[in-house]
Structure 1
Amino acid sequence: MAAARGAPERGRAAVSGVARAAAVARAARVAAVALLAALAGLSVGAPARADLSDDAARVARMWSLSGARVARRPPLFVEHGRSRLIAITPPPSGAAGAAGAPGGDGASRAPGAAGAGRAKADECLTVAFLAPRIVEFTVEPEPAPGDASAIEGLVHRLRGRDPDDERRVHSAAGAAMITRCGPARDELRRVTVDVLSPRGALEIVVAASDGAPERVQSILPERAFGPVAPRGDPGRPADPGPLDVRVVRAARRARADGALRVVPTEMRASVVGTGQFSVKLSGGCHRIDLMAEVPRATVRRATDIDAEAREAGTGRLLDRDRSDAPDARLDFCLGAPGVVEVPFLGAAGPVKVVLSDAQWPLPAYVPGHFGARARGNLAAALHRRHAPAPRAQPIAEAVGMQGDTLVPVQVEPGRCYFAAAALVRGELRALRISAEVGDRAARDDAGERSEGAGVAFCSELEESAAVRVAARGNSPVWALAVWPMD
């Protein structure tokens, strides 16, 4: 009987041991799953870096902890060239608790919400503007009509100074902050934002406090920047000097560059400083200098001539000058005589304007059977590279279209060559020519308004060269010529 009773007891003990082991295993599996979940939460639960909204929430939270009344405006999307005028209203009483998110309650979301409370006489109003760190913008308090600052600004502008440079705040690392205390708080009732970058999002945080709150750069150390040098004032534009002296100087400079003759033409500009020359030019390369007389009056407009040259009849643009220099310069080549129109603007009123045309002849061995346009563009490629005029006919010629084209050329060892590609017809967006001789290569790209490119190369022991032409545009057709050079 005792033995019979012992067996069931040992069986029950074995069963209970298995149950305990199974329970321990289940607990271990649960703990493992919980640990994996916790690790996953650590890895994906928080972003790797704070975004723009998080930066604005951090600024609002830190200002709230210092006792300020804080409100966040809804974010804005701003673009370059489109100023935004933003109305700023002090945060209402009790807005500090809703500073963590834009529009946390009705009072902090609406700029003109009721229950704003009465501000203290010496209270400070602070506005922080936050954008992505690569976005550059300016903020400027907008004076109301009739304000003394607006009248002073008008006086400064009449005297040639821009007072906005003193009022405007430039962003640094995508952040800008303005604080006004006491009666000066009224300057922040309207703020103008101008974006210098193409576009960007903007977060705005407004705080009212007894004193100036902590700087944004202290709260967001990743937006801190080093010392910034003052922008300075470049002053008034330089006086180019008397017109007669500049005309003589331009002619002397052109003759030093090899021009055969210089022909001046003059006219009087309109009352707004505009006009147009229409001149008949010979075939060849031309350098046109446009110079305007500078009035001797004390108060005058700055002289900054901008001009362009166009082929009469077709309207084809030959060259354009939009620089900030007082005089304009245009360089182009014509394959045949023709009329060129030169409109201009930027003269200081109805003053005398002189067009000085320096002329270089067309090289004798530039082929003309491709047409006058191609002949002028081939000559322009030689002239732009200051290459000497060829003394022999081209050893190779080719015609191509859009795309990349390889032209093999037979060359003589120990001799140098010049290869030029020029547009025959169509519209050109890009033109490149390259020459490969052995393990050496040279290339040239046509300029923004040029229709020809040229490259020089020499052969040592090689008897062949590979000339490549790449053209992009609207149905362009180009011509290639390769000349031997002495």
Structure 2
Amino acid sequence: MARVTRAAVLSLLTALAGLSVGAPARADLSDDAARVARMWSLSGARVARLPPLFVEHGRSRLIAISPPPAGAAGAAADAAGRAGAAGAARAPAVGRAKADDCLTVAFLAPRIVEFTVEPEPAPGDASALGGLVDRLRGREPDDERRVHSAAGAAMITRCGPAREELRRVAVDMLSPRGALDVVVAASSGVLDRVESILPERAFGPVAPRGDPGRPAEPGPLDARVARAARRARAEGALRVVPTDMRASVVGTGQFSVKLSEGCHRVDLMAEVPSATVRRATDIDAEAREAGTGRLLDRDRSDAPDARLDFCLGEPAVVEVPFLGAAGPVKVVLSDAQWSMAPYVPGHFGARARGNLAAALHRRHAPAPRAQPIAEAVGTQGDTLVPVQIEPGRCYFAAAALVRGEMRALRISAELGDRAARDDAGDRSEGAGVAFCSDLEESAALRVAARGNSPVWVLAVWPMD
């Protein structure tokens, strides 16, 4: 009896050691699909993996699904790592049935990707077929047959005659794009859920989205105009000049105003009609230079009023088209003006001067009181500009577009083991960063520019 006990213990320890020695855990998409295929294979199912898919938003993919061929269970188990006799012992007769009544398809994507899957309707189901056609044509049907992914995974099971619905499945990407791994299994019963095999993809209850209701009413026009003027003056604006016009019957229009050099904040506010039934007020606008058509700023937010911020290197006529007013109502353009900061160089042109001033204004930097200690010009790519500085003094460096089209602009300042950086943003053509020296006598300024033949200028000012 003692020898039998020792042999049993030795066998158990050997089995545990074999289980503990394996491939390291990985979290990529292919490994997740392999885990699902392995666990379904150990349950006796016939399993196959389809070639990976890449789906983009707005372009539905129709996937043909076929039951795995005979012997697919063993092949999937061998590819997943040869689970061995211990795994077979954990999978009793569930998967050894003669008839495979159920077909299961699992769709796996990265956990941040959202998508829906919709099986093909049964023959003769005209309403469901119409919903599938709508989905493939880009329309949005109201169909409960669709399965939404959760944590990047979706699973569909059909048993008996309903297996025919899985001959083809439409995949629609809700995220911009994503890669998918597809695992297909035929079994005699319902298989384990994906979230039980991949617990890192488990999710809690999802609350319904609900209806947010109508947009908030912005309030009386005169009060909003006065509030915008007070806010601008509190931030240092020299003057605020209002201009008004009446929108068209569909709530559109365009202002054309001559603005001085310097920085401007343009607020567009529309009157709210007194009628009970009316369209919501949501002004969207943009500012462009007349003649050149260069975009200065754009506001497409869901707020009732629009706000545009930009700086001009010289006086110019600016066109401000808008839409979103609730019919032929009064619309006010309120222009808050800040003077051009002194010592902003103008020899690079009006566009560069305005963009340098915008970098100072956006960062709320004090106006420079001296000429720049360093200037540089660069183009596409990453550029390093070393600058000599004084210990114990602070500086402000700005990079601005001179010509071309900018897709991304970044400036960074490195002093020893310290660094600061700033990105221009989507609609800005200037970026600025402040830095101070302790004992350093030099700073490394880096400018990264991406776009269509961009040319930029760098200026560095000493600050008090």
* Aligned CA distance change for structure 1 residues 436 and 129 (closer, same or farther; 3 Å): closer
Deviations 1:103-157 (A, max 9, x none): xxxxxxxxxxxxxxxxxxxxx998745233544312468997779x99xxxxxxx
Equivalent in the alignment of 1:398: 375
CA contact (8 A) 2:153 2:201 kept: no
Counting only pairs closer than 5 Å after superposition, residues 27-176 of structure 1 correspond to structure 2 as: 52=33, 55=36, 77=53, 79-82=55-58, 84=60, 128-134=105-111, 135-139=113-117, 164=142, 169-176=147-154
1:226 equivalent among 198, 203, 212: 203
What SS does the corresponding residue of 1:443 show, helix, strand or coil?
strand
Equivalent in the alignment of 1:251: 229
* Aligned CA distance change for structure 1 residues 61 and 350 (closer, same or farther; 3 Å): farther
Deviations 1:50-84 (A, max 9, x none): 6748847976996979xxxxx99987946232354
Give the alignment's TM-score, normalised by structure 2. Answer: 0.67
CA contact (8 A) 2:36 2:194 kept: no
* Aligned CA distance change for structure 1 residues 270 and 78 (closer, same or farther; 3 Å): farther
Distance in 1 (alpha carbons) for counterparts of 2:357 and 2:386 = 20
What SS does the corresponding residue of 2:433 show, helix, strand or coil?
strand
1:200 and 2:168 are equivalent in the alignment = no
CA contact (8 A) 1:254 1:358 kept: yes
Distance in 1 (alpha carbons) for counterparts of 2:404 and 2:62 = 49
1:287 and 2:262 are equivalent in the alignment = no
Q: Quick check: 476-485 or 246-255, which moved more?
A: 476-485
Deviations 1:255-305 (A, max 9, x none): 111111222233344454443322211111011122334445555544433
Distance in 1 (alpha carbons) for counterparts of 2:403 and 2:63 = 56
Counting only pairs closer than 5 Å after superposition, residues 426-437 of structure 1 correspond to structure 2 as: 426-436=404-414
Distance in 2 (alpha carbons) for counterparts of 1:169 and 1:409 = 62
Equivalent in the alignment of 1:420: 398
Distance in 2 (alpha carbons) for counterparts of 1:207 and 1:173 = 24
Counting only pairs closer than 5 Å after superposition, residues 248-327 of structure 1 correspond to structure 2 as: 248-295=226-273, 300-327=278-305
Equivalent in the alignment of 1:17: none
Residue 380 of structure 1, CA deviation: 0.9
* Aligned CA distance change for structure 1 residues 219 and 356 (closer, same or farther; 3 Å): same
What SS does the corresponding residue of 1:357 show, helix, strand or coil?
strand
* Aligned CA distance change for structure 1 residues 243 and 207 (closer, same or farther; 3 Å): farther
Distance in 2 (alpha carbons) for counterparts of 1:371 and 1:387 = 22
* Aligned CA distance change for structure 1 residues 377 and 61 (closer, same or farther; 3 Å): same
What SS does the corresponding residue of 2:202 show, helix, strand or coil?
coil
Residue 433 of structure 1, CA deviation: 3.4
Equivalent in the alignment of 1:333: 311
Q: What amino acid sits opposite 1:386 in the alignment? A: H
* Aligned CA distance change for structure 1 residues 453 and 467 (closer, same or farther; 3 Å): farther
* Aligned CA distance change for structure 1 residues 72 and 295 (closer, same or farther; 3 Å): farther
Equivalent in the alignment of 1:114: none
CA contact (8 A) 2:246 2:329 kept: yes
Distance in 2 (alpha carbons) for counterparts of 1:300 and 1:129 = 48
Distance in 2 (alpha carbons) for counterparts of 1:323 and 1:450 = 17
CA contact (8 A) 2:151 2:203 kept: no
Give the alignment's TM-score, normalised by structure 1. Answer: 0.64
Stretches of structure 2 that go unaligned for 5 or more consecutive residues are 1-20, 74-100, 132-139
Equivalent in the alignment of 2:365: 387
What SS does the corresponding residue of 1:383 show, helix, strand or coil?
helix
Equivalent in the alignment of 1:376: 354
Stretches of structure 1 that go unaligned for 5 or more consecutive residues are 1-41, 66-70, 102-123, 151-161
Q: What amino acid sits opposite 1:449 in the alignment? A: R
